Amino acid sequence: MDTGDSGPQLEICFITKQDIYAVPSVPFSVPQDINNVHLNKLLNELLRDYTGQLKQVQFDFLVNGQILRLPLVDHLKDFNVSTETTIDVEYIERTEAPEPENALLHDDWIGGVQVADKWVLTGCYDHSVNIWTVHGKHESMSQEHTNMVKSVSWLKQSDPEGGFVTVSHDLTGMLWTWRPGDILPLPVIMLRGHSRAIDSVGVSPNSERLATGGCDTHLKVWSASVDVDDNYEPRPKKIKPNTHLPSRTPIHTLQGHKENIVSVQWLEPQLICTASMDHTIKLWDTELGGLQSEIVAEKAFLDASWSHLCRSIIACSADRHIRLYDPRSTEGSVCKMIFTSHSLWVSAITWSQTDDHLFMSGSYDECVKLWDTRCPKAPLYDLSGHQGKVLCVDWSNPKHLVSGGTDNSLHIFKNRHGN
C-alpha cells in the first residue's frame, strides 16, 4: 500500500465513530509530513481492501481534537505532541460545501430573516415584512411598520401558520397571523413599551413567550399569544389598521444593560441570553425576574447565538473575531476559542440546529462563512455572492443557510447534509 514513503516516519492509528467507515485499528507508518490529501488516499485504499467500498469518500481528520489543515508534523508541534508516540487520527466524513440555491432581491436592506419549513420571513429597512418560499417565490408583503424592521421570528418553527413577530425602529413590535395563500399577513397585536428603537426579538422554546431588546437597554418579556384579550377594543374599520391595533404591554421589564441590546436568545422557558453593545452578555432568569450571570468582554457585541446541542454561546464583536463562550465554565476564562478569518466587523452569527460543531457568520466584509469549532484557524467554506455588508444570517432550517444584507438580496445556500 502506497503511503507516500519518504523521509522521517511516524506511526498513526485510524479511529472513527462512524461505523460504516470503520477499518482495523492497527498502526501504520507514514511520512511525518503527510497531509490530509494523502491521508484521504490511504484511508480510501484501506476501505477498498477491508470493506470492498469502491466509491471515493472525502474525510476530515482530527488530531488532538482539531481538524488537520497543516502537514501532520506541524500540527503535532502546535500541540507539543511527540512524533515518537503512536498518533490517533480520528476521521469523519467531510462536510460538503453548501450549494448556491437562490438570491431573493428586495427593495431595500434586509435587517432580519428566519426560515421555517419552506417559508422565509424577512424584515427590511423599507419598513416591509416579506414572506418567500426557499425556491424564490414572493408570497406576501406588508408595510404596517413605520420605520425599518430589524428582527423577525416565526412563533413556532414547526408550524409557520402559528404566526410570527417583527420588531422595528418605530418603537413597536407586531404579532401577525398568516397562512399559505394569503395575499397579506395580518397584524393582530401591537407590542408597546419600549421607549427607543427595538433591534432584537426571540421566542421561547415552548412558543408561549417572546422577548425584545433595543436601544432603551431594557429587556422586555411578552405573551406570544396571537389571541386578542377580552378587554381589547376592536379597531375601527375605516381607520388605518396599524394605528389602532390592540396594544399589549410587557409581562416583565428587566434592566441591567447600559447600551443597545443586539441579540435575544432563549436558552430555556425561563432563561434568556442577551448580548449588548455595552460589552456584556447577560443571562436572565425570568421566573425570578433578575440577572443570573454575565460575561464581560473588551468590545461591543454585535450578535450572539446559543446552541442547545453543545450548550455554548458564539458571539461576534466590533472586531474581526468570533468567540466561543462556555457560560458553565468554572476553570479559566469562559472564552474557550477564537475564530478569525473575516477582514471587517462580524455582524451576524448563528449555530447549526443539528450539528454541535457547525455555525455560520456574516460580516461587513461582504462574506458569509461556514465554520467547524474543531477548526478555529480557518472556516470550512466561504459562501460568496453578497456585494454589500451582511446584516443577518439564519440556519433555522437545517437544509438552508440564508443571509441578507445591504445589497438588498437574500442568499440561500442548500446544505447537502441537511436533514
Question: Tens of pLDDT along 217-253?
Answer: 999 999 999 986 544 444 444 434 455 799 999 999 9
Q: Are 196 and 215 in contact (CB under 8 A)?
A: yes
Tell me the β-bridge partners of 121: 114, 131
Tens of pLDDT, residue by residue over 126-158, are: 999 999 999 999 999 999 999 999 999 999 988
The predicted pLDDT at position 25 comes to 87
The reply to whether 322 and 253 lie within a common domain is yes
AA letter at 300: A
The total domain count for the chain is 2
Query: Which CATH number fits the domain that encloses residue 219?
Result: 2.130.10.10
Pick the last residue of a domain from 93, 112, 144. Answer: 93
Query: Which CATH number fits the domain that encloses residue 66?
Result: 3.10.20.90
The predicted pLDDT at position 234 comes to 43
Pick the last residue of a domain from 93, 113, 131. Answer: 93
Tell me the β-bridge partners of 123: 112, 129
Pick the last residue of a domain from 93, 112, 129. Answer: 93
- State the pairing for strand pair 290-296/173-177: unpaired
> CA neighbours within 13 Å on the CB side: how many for 52?
0
* Region 299-305 average pLDDT: 97
Q: Are 253 and 219 in contact (CB under 8 A)?
A: yes
The predicted pLDDT at position 2 comes to 44
* Region 397-409 average pLDDT: 97
The reply to whether 89 and 103 lie within a common domain is no
The predicted pLDDT at position 329 comes to 82
The predicted pLDDT at position 332 comes to 75
- State which residues form the domain around 179: 99-414
Give, in degrees to the nearest 5, the angle at Cα 315 between 314 and 320.
120
Tens of pLDDT, residue by residue over 98-134, are: 999 999 999 999 999 999 999 999 999 999 999 999 9
The reply to whether 158 and 262 lie within a common domain is yes
Tell me the β-bridge partners of 337: 324
What secondary structure letter does DSSP report for 105? E
AA letter at 305: S
pTM of the full structure: 0.91
The predicted pLDDT at position 411 comes to 97
How large a percentage of the chain has pLDDT more than 90?
Answer: 84
In a domain, 24, yes or no: yes
The reply to whether 235 and 353 lie within a common domain is yes
Q: Are 324 and 335 in contact (CB under 8 A)?
A: yes
The reply to whether 35 and 165 lie within a common domain is no
More confident residue, 3 or 324: 324
Q: Are 410 and 103 in contact (CB under 8 A)?
A: yes
